[in-house]
Structures are given as structure tokens and as C-alpha cells.
Structure 1
Amino acid sequence: MRLVRHVWRDEVTPAAGACVMATGIISVGLHLTGHEVLSKLLLALAALIWLLLAADFADLLVRDRPRWTAAAITPPALTAVAATTVLGTRLSLLDRQGAAIALLVVAALVWPVLLLAVVRHWRRRGMPGGVFLVCVATQGLAVLAATLCLAGEGDWLGDAALACFGLGLLLYGEALARFDVRQLWTGAGDQWVAGGALAISALAGSRLMAVDRWAGTGHDVLRTVTYVLLGLALAWYAVLLVAEARAPRPGYDVRRWATVFPLGMTAVAALSTGAVADVPELRTLGRVLLWVAVAVWGLVWVGVVWPRGSAPGDGRAGPSGV
């Protein structure tokens, strides 16, 4: 518990779950590129932080229910669901299907509660990048369910994954309508979730493409949709990168974990799509983007260890930030 409180300046915010998301998805990418030892080390770190955050979240529920409720109605609360699904996906790829199923059950039980709470408190416009977490959490369920289906844990998981995939796309549209585009130049890191949500959608599409039951026309439709989603995610990547270059925001902020996650997710989406669709160029692109994500992940950890470079606000996310 002391580790978590040190990392987030004595205040564990809902946004801290993005650290697990970022570390977990980079672990997945390293696995897909054959760096198994490093992948397992990051998986262990992600699992440790997940356990610590879960314990702190439960402790807050018991000690301070009003504060817990106030946190649960904000978009960053959905990092709890997304982090759980990313961790479950990596465990499934490690052939730990029992643990992955358990995490899917946990995420599926928490998801509707937090999703409804968040949506009920949405503003009509002017929201930060955390608004896209409604899509990320839903697509996280799709990715994990599809991965378990491919692991032979039940065809019904493929149907559930497809349903979450469609719902996630609808939620992305709703989030986009509420996103404050000025966040591209003023956001503290969570603006990157706008692209990361499309990247995880593309990953879900690539996982669904690999499911045998949607051969033929269904496969062709999924492939087209996945290509479009990946293309849009890469376009967001370019726009966000240019915005960062034109308006640099140095210094540590907990919301920078929400920058690392989309970087890693875009890499993994390219790797997965390239593998399923047999497009070598996408696999090459994914490898390059993965090491970019690893580098940024390392830089954010430097900010954690040496808080001297923290941004104003001491790294704490606001009530609606990620």
C-alpha cells in the first residue's frame, strides 16, 4: 500500500488504474514480438499494482463511502474495468485461462455499475479525454472475451465479444460528441485516449476476425471495419503527436499513464491486425510503435521516481480528468 501512495503523491486517484492498463498492454506487445522475459516482468508489475489499487479501492469503500461514490461517477473510474481486462488478456495469452476467466467475471460485474454511473453524470460538451473510457472499458471486455473464445473457453464468448464490440463503437460516438477538442493542446495526457479507444476497438476487431465462426462475409465485414478503425487510430496518433510537439507539456502527471496506454494499444492493434490479416507492413509498424511506447513508459516512471519535474497540481487528476 505504501508503494501506491508514494507513486501517486499520497493520493490514490481512479486515474491510477491507467498505470496497470499501460504496463499490461506493453506486456502484451512484448509477448507478441517474442520478448517473453521482459513481457513477464511487466506482467508481474502490472498484477502487483492492480492488487494494491484493488485493496486501496476496497479500503476506501469501507472507510469513506461518500468519497468512493464521488470517484465512481467519474470516467476515470472505468480504468478499473479496462485494467482488469488488459491484465486478463495477458494472462490468457500466458495460458492462465482460469485466472483470465475470473478477471473477466470481475470486470463484467463492475462494468455496468460504473458505466451507468458515469453516463448519468456526463456533461453535454467540454469533457476531457477520459470521456472515451466508456469505449475503452467496453472494448476491453470484447478483447478479453474474444481471446478466451480463441483459447477454447466457449463459443458464446465470441458472441459476447461481438456485442461489446458494437456497443463500444456506439459509446465512442457519444463520447466524441462530448469531447473538448481544445484538450489536444491543453490536456495533461488523457487526450490520447481519443485515439486509444479506437486502437482497442481495432484490437477487438482483429481478435474477432480470428474467430472461425465468422468466416466468409462476416470475416470480410470485420476485416474492413478493423482496417478503418486502425487507420483512424493511426490518424489520431499523428494529430496528437503534432499537438504535443506544438504545445509541450513536460513534467509528471498521473494522467500521463493515459498517454502511454494508447501508444502501447496502437502498437498492439497493428501487430494483431497484421498477424491475423497477414500484412507484414502492419507487423513492422507495430514493432516500431511498441518501442516508442516502451520509451515513453520509461519516461513516465522517471517522473514517478523523481517528482521534482512534476507539473502544477502535483500529479493529481481533477474530478473529471483521467
Structure 2
Amino acid sequence: MPGSSSLRAWWARRPPAAGAAVLATGILSIGLRLAGHEVLFKVMLALAGAAWVVLASDFVVRLLWQRERWRTEASTPDGLTAVAATTVLGTGLSVLGRQNCAWALLALSAVLWPVLMTDVVRHVTRHVMSHRGRRMHGDVFLCCVATQGLAVLGATLAKAEALSWPAHTALVLFWLGLLLYAVMLALFDWRQVTEGAGDQWVAGGALAASALAGARLIDADHALYLWNADDRGVLRGVTIALVVLALGWYAVLLAAEVLRPRPRYDLRRWATVFPLGMTAVAMMSVASAVDVPGLKGPGEVLLWVAVAAWLAVTAAALIAGFGGSVRSTGPR
């Protein structure tokens, strides 16, 4: 069939940015759990898990038999969706009570993170040196998202297993993630706000991921009494500030979408969906962690906005895939 043939052809040249679909689905499942929708949580988590298995299998195939292609793709910021998606899936499984699976995914993420991060840093350095004055797309913020994903999963497991060392490690990753965000912000092409095909939203999603990591660290401290009053105060203040900044990005990027509509489907639209979901989850998590219940209602509203975006992008992806018109981007 022509449609299925086109879909197979697209899959053969699938870029690493496709991992953002797993990340988007996984973070929405967590948001649905926070909002009390247990059945939808399990359905979305199952979808994220199934997609992760498919993409992980393809990742291994390329690593073993298409080494040059794997190296090229792994060196781009999009390659870090492998780490981010794995940590989000692990967090969902931990919430579900499957701690052994969550530990396994944390270990896998911890192995992948330094390998992929080293390659990405080299890629970014080469880009800066060889394209003076040319800045980067929003996917560069995946350096922060992947790092904060490890922090979120580590802090979640620390609370679930009553262990302090994952929380202390997560705290280090939390601050490292913020440092990476500051560096990548200096490299970001601000024209992408009005011209980007979808991944410009990661600029705000990375701050939301950081706020979620802060909220999980606060939750772990509530259970384990990890830090003194001064440390708790700093973490609380920074976490609240991150939510406010993430909402600021949300407003700016949404206004840019209204003023400069970009309706055509692009694979990078999945990198729009996951920041929408991440912002909602961050708000609901911070509402509970720092006892600001006023954030939960707006967080739930943004969650349904993200669900609507997920449905729209899923439908567009299926139509484009079977129609043979999927736009995808290779390494930039």
C-alpha cells in the first residue's frame, strides 16, 4: 500500500527528534495522574512505554549496524531526547509503583547522559566556532531538559525508597541543569521565537522541567529531612521563580504563535507538546510541594491544553505519515 510504504520510508530516515513524542506522551501521563485521572494516566503511560521500546530498539540497531549515522545523530541536541524520554518514563513507572523498572531506567539514563552530552557539547562548540554570529535552534535546551530529567527521576526514587543519596545527586544535577540553561540561552537564536517550527518551545519547557525537579527535591526533603532551613528556603525560592519564568516563556511563545501562525505539520511540533505538558505538571507539582494551592487549578487547565495539542499533533502526524508528506529535520 502506498501509504504504508511512505510511512516505512519515513521511519527508515527517522531523525532523533522523534523521541520528543515519547517525552510528550510520558509527561502528559504524569500530569493526568496528578490531576486524578488514573485510567488515562495508565493508558498514556502504556503508549509512552510502547513507543519507547520501539525507539530504543531502533536506537540499538543503529548503534550496532549503522554506526556512522548513529554518531551523527547522537551528536546533535535532539539526541538527548533519548535521555529525557527515558527519565520521564522512569518517573511514570515509579509513580505507578514499579520501582525496579524505574531504577533500571535511571541506570540506563545515567550511562547515556555523559556519552550523549559529551558529543553534544562538541557539536555545539564546533557550531559556535564555525558559524560565528549564527545562533542555535530551541533544541539546544535539551541539554538542560535531559539533566533535569535525571534530577526528577533521582528525587522521585529517593522519596519512594527513603534513600538520601539519590536526592543529593539530584540536587547537584538540578544546579548543573540551571547552569547549562544559562549557557544555552546565550547561544539561542531569538528569531526562532517567531520563526521556529516547534522546538523553540523547549526554551520554556526546560525551565518547567527545572521547576519540576525543584518540586521533587522539596518533596524528598519533606520525607527525609535532607537539608537545613537555609537550603530549603533557597530551593523553595528558586523553584517558585522557575515556575514564574516558565509561565513567562509560555505567554511569549503563545503570543508569537498567534501573531505568526505556523500551521503546517513538522516533526518538531512534538517539541511544542512536551513543554506545554511540562509546564502544567510543574505548576501542579510546585502547588503541592510548596503549599501554594492556587497553582493547581491553572495547572490543570494547561494540562488539558497540552492534551488537546497532543491529540492535534498525533492526528497531523498520522495524516502526514500515511500521506508521505512528513517533514523531518536532520542534524543542524
If the length of structure 1 is used for normalisation, what is the TM-score? 0.95
Find the counterpart in structure 1 of residue 17 from structure 2: 15
Find the counterpart in structure 2 of residue 115 from structure 1: 117
Question: Is structure 2 residue 247 aligned with structure 1 residue 234?
Answer: yes
Aligned match of 2:202 in 180, 193, 210? 193
Find the counterpart in structure 1 of residue 330 from structure 2: 318
Aligned match of 1:206 in 209, 215, 240? 215
- Per-residue deviation at 1:41? 0.4
Q: Could you tell me whether the CA contact under 8 Å between 1:75 and 1:133 is conserved in 2?
A: yes
Find the counterpart in structure 1 of residue 283 from structure 2: 270
Q: What pairs up with 1:84-99 in 2 under 5 angstroms?
A: 84-99=86-101
> Distance in 2 between the 1:278 and 1:66 partners?
50
Q: What pairs up with 1:262-301 in 2 under 5 angstroms?
A: 262-301=275-314
- Per-residue deviation at 1:276? 1.1
Find the counterpart in structure 2 of residue 170 from structure 1: 179
When residues 110 and 281 of structure 1 are mapped into structure 2, their CA distance, relative to the original with a 3 A threshold, is same
Aligned match of 1:28 in 30, 46, 57? 30
> Distance in 2 between the 1:198 and 1:309 partners?
35
How big is each residue's C-alpha offset from its partner over 1:259-300, in whole Å with a ceiling of 9 and x where there is no partner?
Answer: 000000000000000011121210111101000000000000
> Distance in 2 between the 1:279 and 1:177 partners?
32
Q: Could you tell me whether the CA contact under 8 Å between 1:9 and 1:315 is conserved in 2?
A: no
Question: Is structure 2 residue 144 aligned with structure 1 residue 128?
Answer: no
Extract unaligned runs of 5+ from structure 1: none
> Distance in 1 between the 2:94 and 2:82 partners?
18
> Distance in 1 between the 2:99 and 2:241 partners?
31
Question: Is structure 2 residue 264 aligned with structure 1 residue 255?
Answer: no
> Distance in 2 between the 1:273 and 1:296 partners?
23
- Per-residue deviation at 1:318? 3.1
> Distance in 2 between the 1:45 and 1:230 partners?
28
Find the counterpart in structure 2 of residue 154 from structure 1: 163
Q: Between the two proteins, what is the percent identity of the paired residues? A: 56
> Distance in 2 between the 1:221 and 1:7 partners?
50
- Per-residue deviation at 1:9? 2.7
If the length of structure 2 is used for normalisation, what is the TM-score? 0.92
Find the counterpart in structure 2 of residue 47 from structure 1: 49
Aligned match of 1:144 in 153, 157, 162? 153
> Distance in 1 between the 2:323 and 2:271 partners?
16
Aligned length: 317
> Distance in 1 between the 2:71 and 2:307 partners?
34
> Distance in 1 between the 2:146 and 2:229 partners?
29
Extract unaligned runs of 5+ from structure 2: 129-133
